[in-house]
């Protein structure tokens, strides 16, 4: 079984899609924060406008390799699908290209139920082989190495990079779950207030709009498609006036050819408030819907929490 062998890997639209400025995000280790710091407003926007980056995938996430290719610089790439990110682009999972150096194989890659999940915005995986430590994203899942004592302050895990430990207060053990409620979604989402938007971002180093809601719902055990254009096809349709906390709001606007397309999604918090990752070079925010351009662009409401009591 193949899986992601770096903290956060980008899935690119082709092996030729990355630019020189993206080099630090392509290696192993992936220097994600260095890469993000180097991007200015224009180079961030180009990830979207030029359709370069497709999505991101977290350490140890299983992937299926479909094809291998060498780019013009002699670097090896793999076309993969990510089963944990449903997409209409491929019924098997989200498709994209990843540097072969960022993939791993081995026992740490097994998709198992006995997994430890990072539930804080970031957590440090420590005492890896060769004394390495890695900063992991929210929702990274790693295999539990051995049972955890009640008073333990460390949890030992197996990863594609070897054995290490995570702070006990940063993770959920296999039998621990967040309540599937609107209050949980809001509490988790508000921890990312001020986080800068990243096109195709699907980690706590930067989310796009659909990546944020995809991750928040995954945290409470509800699997959504990766992209807003697919998310709108799921859940229960709700009239705009009947929306309640925990619903998703979808927005549309004309594309370059003048056709209305769904291009944004937000989490409804109640009392006319929504939480979202707005657009390029903006930041995750909570704001009023009424009186905004979003109120004019609202096209659909979808519900995933089954009862009012679940909010």
Question: pLDDT tens digit string along 37-91?
Answer: 999 999 999 999 999 999 999 999 999 999 999 998 899 999 999 999 999 999 9
Q: What does the pLDDT read at residue 257?
A: 83
Catalytic residue among 78, 109, 170, 264: 264
DSSP labels, 220-288: TT----SSHHHHTTSSEEE-GGG--TT-EEEEEEE-TTS-EEEEEEEEEEETTEEEE--STT-B-EEEE
Give mean pLDDT, residues 16-25. Answer: 97
For residue 113, is pLDDT > 90? Answer: no
The pLDDT value recorded for residue 307 is 67
Give the pLDDT of residue 196.
97
Reply yes or no on whether 209 is catalytic.
yes
Q: Indicate the average pLDDT of the chain.
A: 94
Reply yes or no on whether 109 is catalytic: no
Tell me how crowded residue 123 is: count the other CB atoms within 10 A of its CB.
23
Please state the rounded mean pLDDT for residues 7-24. 97
With cut-offs at 50, 70 and 90, classify the pLDDT of residue 112.
low
pLDDT of amino acid 311: 47
Residues comprising the chain, all counted = 311
| pLDDT of 98 strictly over 80 | yes
Local structure of residue 100 (DSSP, 8 states): G
Nearest to 115 by CA among 174, 58, 177: 174
Do 194 and 160 contact (CB within 8 A), yes or no?
Answer: no
Q: Among 3, 78, 170, 276, which one carries the catalytic annotation?
A: 276
Domains assigned to the chain: 2-108 (no CATH), 112-172 (2.30.30.40), 182-310 (3.90.1720.10)
Q: What is the largest CA-CA distance in the chain?
A: 60
The residues, any chain, with a CB within 8 Å of residue 11's CB and separated by 6 or more, are 53, 54, 55, 56, 57, 80, 82, 94, 95, 96, 97, 98, 200
- Active-site residue 3, yes or no? no
pLDDT of residue 111: 58
Rounded to 10 degrees, what is the CA torsion of 91, 220, 277, 302? 70
Measure CA 288 to chain center. 25
- How high is the pLDDT of residue 83? 96
- pLDDT per residue over 215-230, tens digit each? 999 999 999 999 999 9
Q: Is residue 62 within a helix (H) or strand (E), and if so which, with residue range?
A: strand 62-70
Cβ atoms of 144 and 116 within 8 Å: the answer is yes
Q: What is the pLDDT of residue 6?
A: 97
Strand order across the 2-4 sheet:
53-58, 8-12, 94-99, 76-82, 62-70, 2-4, 103-105
Tens digit of each residue's pLDDT (9 = 90 or more) over 242-267: 999 999 999 998 887 888 999 999 99
Whole-number pLDDT of residue 133: 94
Angle, helices 182-190 vs 209-219, to 10°: value is 130
Residue 251 near residue 265 (C-beta atoms within 8 A) = yes
Among 78, 109, 209, 214, the one annotated catalytic: 209
**What number is the average pLDDT over the span 86-104?**
97
In degrees and rounded to multiples of 5, residue 225 shows phi and psi of -60, 165
pLDDT for 306 beyond 90: no
Q: How far from chain centre, in Å, is Cα 127?
A: 25
| Measured distance CA(68)–CA(239) in Å, rounded | 46
User: Which residues, at least 6 apart from 175, have a Cβ–Cβ distance to it below 8 Å?
Assistant: none
Q: Is the pTM of this model over 0.75?
A: yes
Report DSSP letters for 68-90, one per residue.
EEE-TTS-EEEEEEETTS-BTTB
């Amino acid at each position: 079984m193949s899986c992601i062998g770096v903290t956060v890997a980008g899935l690119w639209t082709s092996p030729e899609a990355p630019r020189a400025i993206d080099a630090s995000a392509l290696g192993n280790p992936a220097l994600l924060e260095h890469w993000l710091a180097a991007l200015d407003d224009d180079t961030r926007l180009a990830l979207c406008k030029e359709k370069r980056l497709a999505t991101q995938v977290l350490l140890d996430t299983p992937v299926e390799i479909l094809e291998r290719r060498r780019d013009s610089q002699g670097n090896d790439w793999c076309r993969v699908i990510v089963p944990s990110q449903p997409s209409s682009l491929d019924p098997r999972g989200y498709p994209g290209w990843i540097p072969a150096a960022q993939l791993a194989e081995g026992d740490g890659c097994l998709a198992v139920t006995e997994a430890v999940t990072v539930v804080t915005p970031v957590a440090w995986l420590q005492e890896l082989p060769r004394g390495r430590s890695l900063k992991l994203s929210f929702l990274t899942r790693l295999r539990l190495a051995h049972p955890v004592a009640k008073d333990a302050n460390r949890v030992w895990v197996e990863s594609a990079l070897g054995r290490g430990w995570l702070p006990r207060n940063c993770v959920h053990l296999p039998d621990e779950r967040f309540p599937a409620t609107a209050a949980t979604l809001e509490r988790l989402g508000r921890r990312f207030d001020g986080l800068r938007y990243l096109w195709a971002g699907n980690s706590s180093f930067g989310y796009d709009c659909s990546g944020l809601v995809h991750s928040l719902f995954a945290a409470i055990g509800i699997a959504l498609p990766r992209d807003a254009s697919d998310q709108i096809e799921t859940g229960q349709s709700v009239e705009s006036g009947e929306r309640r906390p925990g619903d998703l709001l979808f927005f549309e606007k004309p594309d370059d050819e003048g056709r209305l397309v769904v291009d944004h999604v937000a989490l409804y918090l109640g009392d006319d408030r929504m939480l979202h990752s707005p657009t390029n070079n903006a930041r995750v925010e909570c704001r009023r819907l009424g009186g905004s351009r979003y109120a004019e662009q609202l096209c659909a409401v979808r519900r995933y929490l089954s009862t009012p009591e679940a909010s």
